[in-house]
Amino acid sequence: MSLPKKGSYNFKIEQYQCNVRKMLRFSFLVNTMLSAADYHSTERGFGTDYLNSIGKTWVLSRLAVEMLRIPSRHEVITVETWVEKVHPLFTNRNFRMSIQSTGETLGWGRSVWAMIDTTTRHPADLMEIKEGRIMDFVTPPDHPDYIEVPITKPVRIQMEDATLAREVDTFFSDVDFNGHINSMRYLDHILDLFPLDWHKKNNIKRLDIAYIAEGRPEVPIRIYRNIPSENAEDNSTDYGFKILQKLPENKEETEACRLRLRTIPLI
Amino acid sequence: MSLPKKGSYNFKIEQYQCNVRKMLRFSFLVNTMLSAADYHSTERGFGTDYLNSIGKTWVLSRLAVEMLRIPSRHEVITVETWVEKVHPLFTNRNFRMSIQSTGETLGWGRSVWAMIDTTTRHPADLMEIKEGRIMDFVTPPDHPDYIEVPITKPVRIQMEDATLAREVDTFFSDVDFNGHINSMRYLDHILDLFPLDWHKKNNIKRLDIAYIAEGRPEVPIRIYRNIPSENAEDNSTDYGFKILQKLPENKEETEACRLRLRTIPLI
């Protein structure tokens, strides 16, 4: 049986995944995308369970998500995902989010993944796994299933003049199934810097993340932020953040990730 | 079209819902139960959206969940839920959790819900809503769909000699779609009192919760805990907690909920 290159997965928006405006929280939105990537790669023989069995794993390196509309409680969304390109050490995976019943496009995603050796933590050559069969699942621009993703690649996030906004202890509930700090918990902790009243009056339009190192549980994270910048053309605001940890064995802080939020006020 | 008295809903365990042992987090487990209750009541004309439209809402008062096995990443679970009894001011709703493909029973739940007036916060008479038609959905002991739930009712949680374990600030991510502190966030904050290493060596066997008052966002919660007690017959340990808030307009602390965890060490 040959699987289509593209995967398509449905998720019902549960009420516990919703914020005070009864809309899907952004961290749960991205989690559905990561679940779709997990299912797509697993079904095609390149999932983390197989990779772990040969001493490798996937690491999310960069991500950009841009939304036209955030879905609400009880809506069923479809997350389509496909691999656009495979470099020896990276793959580009794209996403389209839509409403299952109507096909309405909700938003788009672009991501960059590395495969690493779980012992050395060094990048592994994707072409050496299963004789490079990952190429069978690539959807290049001349393929009939190719979809042009109308958002820019993950941006480089500049962090000059960042100041400490908050130090947050990390606990069991911050830890993912791999034993590191869950990649979306950083986003939750950053969104918690904004008061509830701000969340009632603003939408997240775009999220960019660059992961630098995996976070260590039970060590506090330190969230630094930039001075926000306004974009006159669409009335949006960009907020830049970086997350650092002071590990006991190192003198310097270790950077875990950088994150940029582009938000727009509700009219 | 007449719906069956019992509702049955499937949930796939996503990797982001899993803890470091690749098992479903207990708060996500209970959230699937609350989602099932939401779907069951909504489909039968007694959901929160309808109730809100007439100035009423459901409030979870007590809950007991007892598990034989916690499901793992990628398993699909079925949550069955039904109303066992309707009192004028309360309903008893039960749950059975199982594996979809095999029918293996994973665990059971019992819950008590009150309907309240959203303005006065006083209990409302269920028999006055839609001429008491909620009685159509009750599954009494002599009904063919009746299932005996083999766990005891939610226990009364004694909290003598409790001492302050931690004060935790609450933010946007603690707030639910009703604007209160999410009922499962209390559980997450309590589970965060136990170090990661404890979670690797112990299972939650049973959870009991009694909700007293809704928590107010952006006010810290104070978690008090009992001295744990051991149960010689099954080697389990009971941990009692209560969560209080010091609201600015009150001299005394307000109690939000009490919670008991029964845990067993892994063998």
What is the interface pTM, i.e. ipTM, of the complex? Answer: 0.94
Contacts of B163 (CB under 8 A, 6+ apart): B224, B225
Q: Average of pLDDT values for A97-125?
A: 95
Q: Could you tell me if B141 lies within 8 Å of chain A, comparing CB atoms?
A: no
Q: How far apart are CA B47 and CA A23, in angstroms?
A: 18
- Is the model's pLDDT at A195 over the cut of 90? yes
Q: How far apart are CA A171 and CA A84, in angstroms?
A: 36
The pLDDT value given to residue B144: 84
What does each C-alpha distance from B6 to B87, B105, B147, B167 come to in angstroms? 18, 16, 10, 41
Q: How far apart are CA A200 and CA B2, in angstroms?
A: 39
Q: Which residues of chain B have pLDDT under 70?
A: 1
Q: Which residue, B31, B73, B49, B253, is CA-closest to B164? A: B253
Rounded to 5 degrees, what angle do the CA atoms B204, B207, B208 make? 160
Q: Could you tell me if B173 lies within 8 Å of chain A, comparing CB atoms?
A: yes
State percent of chain A over pLDDT 70.
Answer: 100
The overall average pLDDT reported for chain A is: 95
The pLDDT value given to residue B89: 86
The pLDDT value given to residue B221: 98
Residue A152 tokens read as: 């820019």
The structural domains of chain A, ordered by start, are 7-137 (3.10.129.10), 163-265 (3.10.129.10)
pTM: 0.95
The pLDDT value given to residue B127: 87
**Would you say how long chain A is, in residues?**
267
The pLDDT value given to residue A1: 53
The pLDDT tens digits for A162-187 are: 999 999 999 999 999 989 999 999 99
Query: pLDDT-based confidence at A143, cuts 50/70/90?
Result: confident
Chain B residues within 8 A of A192 when measuring between CB atoms: 171-173
* Cβ within 8 Å, pair A14-B25: no
Q: Using CB atoms, which residue from A20, A173, A195 is nearest to B179?
A: A20
Q: Could you tell me if B167 lies within 8 Å of chain A, comparing CB atoms?
A: no
The pLDDT tens digits for B42-66 are: 999 999 999 999 999 999 999 999 9
Q: Using CB atoms, which residue from B179, B182, B195 is nearest to A16?
A: B182
Closest Cα in chain B to A21? B177
* Cβ within 8 Å, pair B16-A25: no
Residue A130 tokens read as: 């299963």
User: A39 or A134, which is more confident?
Assistant: A39
Backbone φ and ψ for A220, nearest 5 degrees, come out as -65, 150
- Is the model's pLDDT at A133 over the cut of 90? no
Chain B residues within 8 A of A31 when measuring between CB atoms: 14, 16
Contact B138, B5 (CB under 8 A): yes
Q: Could you tell me if B218 lies within 8 Å of chain A, comparing CB atoms?
A: yes
